């Protein structure tokens, strides 16, 4: 059985966007080559990526072109190759087709489809998007959080989860630190349900 891993850059106050629509490109992020190499290593190890529409369309707009852009650093072109060729699932009610090795699921039974996907996948399944992660958490299907915390307090902006006000018990699995004060923490969600029990 696979594990849904919500992977996100966050501020110290657990914000993922300072301004609506910045789509992970805020000036508060401290992503250097060392950190990007870590992203590449972890992304390459994923069995599958599952992304909500906003995250997917942000990635789709940039990364397929980035892998061919000689003006970009090697580490970014490498990530472009990883993202473009990795197997992906786009979860959307409005889109029905996608390229770049992507399957689309949607509709009222999307969570049930994701539970089945988790049951039939071996390894880590990267989750991109707060709305999607919140839905998985509510359904008891979110297994892990992989948080890269940047040393800034935004004070406002979009939180890590959308409209979620219940306690979440976590166990620390892994931690690390990078230049510019960025830290990484990987947690397991204690009460994630087994696939098929929702």
pLDDT digits over 43-98, tens only? 999 999 999 999 999 999 999 999 999 999 999 999 999 999 999 999 999 999 99
pLDDT digits over 151-191, tens only? 999 998 889 998 877 888 999 999 999 999 999 999 999 97
The residues that bridge with 126 in the sheet, in sequence order, are: 5, 49
| pTM for this prediction | 0.91
Please name each of the domains of the chain with its CATH number.
2-189 (3.40.430.10)
Question: Where are the alpha helices (H) located in the chain, listed in sequence order?
Answer: 33-45, 53-66, 74-85, 110-120, 130-138
């Amino acid at each position: 059985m696979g594990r849904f891993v919500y992977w996100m850059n966050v501020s110290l106050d657990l914000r993922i966007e300072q301004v609506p629509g910045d789509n992970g490109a805020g000036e508060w992020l401290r992503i250097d080559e060392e950190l990007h190499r870590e992203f590449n290593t972890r992304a390459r190890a994923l069995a599958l990526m599952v992304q909500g529409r906003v995250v997917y369309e942000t990635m789709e707009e940039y990364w397929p072109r980035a892998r061919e852009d000689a003006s970009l650093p090697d580490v970014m072109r490498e990530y472009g190759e990883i993202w473009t060729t990795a197997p992906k699932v786009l979860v959307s009610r409005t889109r029905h087709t996608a390229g770049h090795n992507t399957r689309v699921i949607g509709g009222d039974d999307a969570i049930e489809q994701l539970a089945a996907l988790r049951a039939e996948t071996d390894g880590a399944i990267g989750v991109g998007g707060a709305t999607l992660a919140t839905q998985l958490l509510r359904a008891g299907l979110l297994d892990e959080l992989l948080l890269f915390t940047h040393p800034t307090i935004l004070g406002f902006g979009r939180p890590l989860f959308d409209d979620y006000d219940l306690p979440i018990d976590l166990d620390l699995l892994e931690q690390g630190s990078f230049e510019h004060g960025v830290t990484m923490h990987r947690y397991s969600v204690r009460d994630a349900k087994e696939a098929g029990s929702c």
